[in-house]
Amino acid sequence: MCKDSNKSRFMKGKLYIVPTPVGNLEDITFRAVEVLKEADLILAEDTRTSSVLLDHYGVHKPLLSHHKFNEHQTTGRIKEIIASGKNVALISDAGTPGISDPGFLLARSCADEGIEVQTLPGATACIPAIVSSGLPCDRFCFEGFLPQKKGRQTLLQSLASEPRTMVFYESPRRLVKTLEQFAEVFGPERPCSVAREISKLHEEHVRGTLAEVLEHFRASEPKGEIVIVVGGAVIEKGEHKNKYKE
């Protein structure tokens, strides 16, 4: 009995990275719910937002706030908790942690120290957006949120010749400005699709050229979560590989 007890003190727990719905609360896997119910501690980007989902599925576990403003301070403590044998589940407000959300720092730090990191497959906004866009999705590059100021123009210029379909995240208040910059750098005729409110009641996909999509959102104020999908650069003169499928 004493021997088993001593052994258990040195057993390491795991870090589970758990995707949560980007819209409809039903867009979560059975396994994700089970992991959350069995975890000793849940790390949440915003505990108030996450409590809605957790209450919906009857998950009542200790919550600890873990977000981009405190992750450098909390990562060491979390690793100690896991090393003591506890299982910790990391969730963000929506989607997969680490994809334009907190999670990368903790996952890397745990991996570097030999702590097992298991990431569950599940919801993310970029995949539904690109598949629904009608643009090629066999090869694409994910750019996430662009820099607000420093390096933004340089990055856009470097992407002007990118042949793969490109995926960006953007806020509704900056959407029009970003589309204007895309039209200027990539050209107004470049094909584009803007996905809004994925998996929610008012989901919308606006497809066309950058000029056409820009005109739409100049006339209709965008709201909700935004994903922009832009066709890649011209492959051959006079022909664009990333045309919409008929």
pLDDT at residue 101 greater than cutoff 60: yes
Distances (CA, A) of 92 to 6, 88, 121, 200: 35, 13, 14, 17
Residues 140 and 210 both lie in one domain: yes
Residues 29 and 92 both lie in one domain: yes
Residues 48 and 134 both lie in one domain: no
208 in a domain, yes or no? yes
185 in a domain, yes or no? yes
Q: Sign of the CA dihedral 155, 156, 162, 166? A: positive
| DSSP letter assigned to residue 167 | E
Residues 97 and 186 both lie in one domain: no
At 235 the pLDDT is 67
Residues 112 and 6 both lie in one domain: yes
End-of-domain residue from the set 67, 93, 119: 119
Residues 141 and 203 both lie in one domain: yes
Residues 169 and 203 both lie in one domain: yes
List all residues 6 or more positions away from 127 whose beta carbon is below 8 Å from its beta carbon.
none
Distances (CA, A) of 42 to 52, 58, 76, 111, 211: 14, 14, 16, 18, 44
pLDDT at residue 153 greater than cutoff 80: yes
Work out the number of other CB atoms within 10 angstroms of the CB of residue 91: 31
End-of-domain residue from the set 71, 86, 119: 119
Mean pLDDT of all residues belonging to the chain: 91
Residues 107 and 184 both lie in one domain: no
Domain that residue 184 falls in: 126-230
Region of 128 please: left (phi>0), alpha (psi -120 to 50) or beta.
alpha
The number of folded domains in the chain is 2
Band of pLDDT at residue 2, cut at 50, 70 and 90 = very low
User: pTM of the entire structure?
Assistant: 0.86
